[in-house]
Structure 1
């Protein structure tokens, strides 16, 4: 875990708070719960009342061997997914934790390689910080990030252009939990209570006080008709999860009945990988599968399929082979899992 001289807002950090970091969060489970837990958490999330929208829970500065598994276990237990902004050098040093983040259903994102003040760098140095982090996360099995959060929230047009050149959307945050500044668990929970639809909250990977706050944060969101969602790479705002990098079940598509489509990855080769979708809730379903260019679905089985004009959106319906179907994606360098939407009928 890399210590930074200053907090995300650029203020000096004090070191005495490490005493609070040493203690593990009470009641966290042993690491390694696996993909089944990720699927289970999505069943819980799917049952939640999201009538007032979605917010993004985000955690910076991971992964680190002292606390990332505790964080993942707490998120699993709460039945939510989060966006994890990884520091590249931490990802390179802890590849198994990056893989664990993705296996737990989290969205893995870019937070620079060394956590510098990016605006003090040349354009070439900015690009290097970003591209090295992309490579570190990809090499560790974390997929291809589509989001970048600048250290300390410092950004300008030059940095945003460097990010855009790598396919990254630059995002900051709406609510600062102040966990880096010694906020108590109660204060972190109080900060989260200010979240409204589309907003995101800044938290960090390494604090026990933050982990202890997660169940209370989720309970508070639920009581207000809010759910934890993903950050849209198009708008930078929190939206409903689409089953992307975590591959969890989808929420029902608008206008249809209730069903859930769950993606799981199958065999992988250098240039392609297999995926399987299991549908629950109905035997009469329509599932849309959306891949990202340059990805291409090159084979399908156990469903009747059609395509939109872009070739990126496949619509699958039952063909008498049951409620599980599969396909092969030629990835073109992008290992991101497809987005799913399911409706009955």
Structure 2
């Protein structure tokens, strides 16, 4: 029996990492969810379209990556709405998934996101690439994934990109495959 996990990458599109990430995923026959920052997508539209064309799922990661819990509701709504507009225009459809920067959330943030038709997605396993984890540590973190779980990674770190082929190989030995995130549950399921 095959299980599914969600490989997620935040903070793109990023000229230093997105193309290499897409190449690593393509080489491994895998798809992932990329949580894009709106202003990065606006600055690098070709990279976002390239991700979409490679079959990646695109999610909303706010416009400028603030701690949304520290903003007024109006400002939070503007961060998400502006990103929805840009990603919708570039991707052909607005995202249905949302990840709050830093994982900082609360009832107000969730309510605003839901009002925009977004499902909040956090993670079960943190690769800690943002804290300087090397490729071995990132691979070890991914080894903790079980069926239905989500891992947090980022597009811009060379160690993360280097870990992707090893993560994919290790998942195969455990009968796990990269899948999409179900909008109703926020859990990993078979990709479409």
Partners of 2:15 and 2:51 lie apart in 1 by: 12
Runs of at least 4 residues off by over 2 Å: none
Residues 1:162 and 2:112 are matched in the alignment: yes
Higher mean C-alpha displacement, 132-141 vs 119-128: 132-141
Residues 1:207 and 2:165 are matched in the alignment: no
Higher mean C-alpha displacement, 135-144 vs 225-234: 135-144
C-alpha displacement at 1:138, in angstroms? Answer: 1.4
The answer (yes or no) to whether the contact 1:177–1:202 under 8 Å persists in 2 is: yes
Q: Which residue of 2 aligns with 1:197?
A: 147
C-alpha displacement at 1:142, in angstroms? Answer: 5.2
Partners of 1:239 and 1:177 lie apart in 2 by: 20
C-alpha displacement at 1:105, in angstroms? Answer: 0.4
Partners of 1:120 and 1:187 lie apart in 2 by: 32
1:296-333 per-residue CA deviation (whole Å, 9 max, x = no partner) reads xxxxxxxxxxxxxxxxxxxxxxxxxxxxxxxxxxxxxx
Partners of 2:92 and 2:102 lie apart in 1 by: 23
C-alpha displacement at 1:144, in angstroms? Answer: 1.4
C-alpha displacement at 1:77, in angstroms? Answer: 0.5
C-alpha displacement at 1:52, in angstroms? Answer: 3.8
The answer (yes or no) to whether the contact 1:173–1:201 under 8 Å persists in 2 is: yes
Q: How many matched pairs? A: 192
| 2:183 partner SS | coil
TM-score scaled by structure 1?
A: 0.55
C-alpha displacement at 1:141, in angstroms? Answer: 2.5
Q: Which residue of 2 aligns with 1:72?
A: 22
Partners of 1:139 and 1:66 lie apart in 2 by: 23
TM-score scaled by structure 2?
A: 0.98
The answer (yes or no) to whether the contact 2:17–2:161 under 8 Å persists in 1 is: no
Partners of 1:107 and 1:89 lie apart in 2 by: 18
Residues 1:148 and 2:92 are matched in the alignment: no
**Considering only aligned residues, what root-mean-square deviation do their CA atoms show, in Å?**
0.8
Q: Which residue of 2 aligns with 1:137?
A: 87
| 2:7 partner SS | strand
C-alpha displacement at 1:233, in angstroms? Answer: 0.4
| 1:140 partner SS | helix
- The structure with the largest helix share of the pair is 2
Partners of 1:220 and 1:138 lie apart in 2 by: 34
Q: Which residue of 2 aligns with 1:171?
A: 121
The answer (yes or no) to whether the contact 1:95–1:141 under 8 Å persists in 2 is: no
1:207-233 per-residue CA deviation (whole Å, 9 max, x = no partner) reads 111011111101111000110000000
Stretches of structure 2 that go unaligned for 5 or more consecutive residues are none
**Within 5 Å, which residues of 2 pair with 1:229-244?**
229-242=179-192
The answer (yes or no) to whether the contact 1:63–1:94 under 8 Å persists in 2 is: yes
Higher relative contact order (CA closer than 8 Å, sequence separation 6+):
2
The answer (yes or no) to whether the contact 1:56–1:198 under 8 Å persists in 2 is: yes
Residues 1:118 and 2:68 are matched in the alignment: yes
| 1:183 partner SS | coil
Partners of 1:142 and 1:97 lie apart in 2 by: 14
Partners of 1:241 and 1:67 lie apart in 2 by: 23
Partners of 1:89 and 1:229 lie apart in 2 by: 27
Partners of 1:97 and 1:52 lie apart in 2 by: 31
C-alpha displacement at 1:102, in angstroms? Answer: 0.3
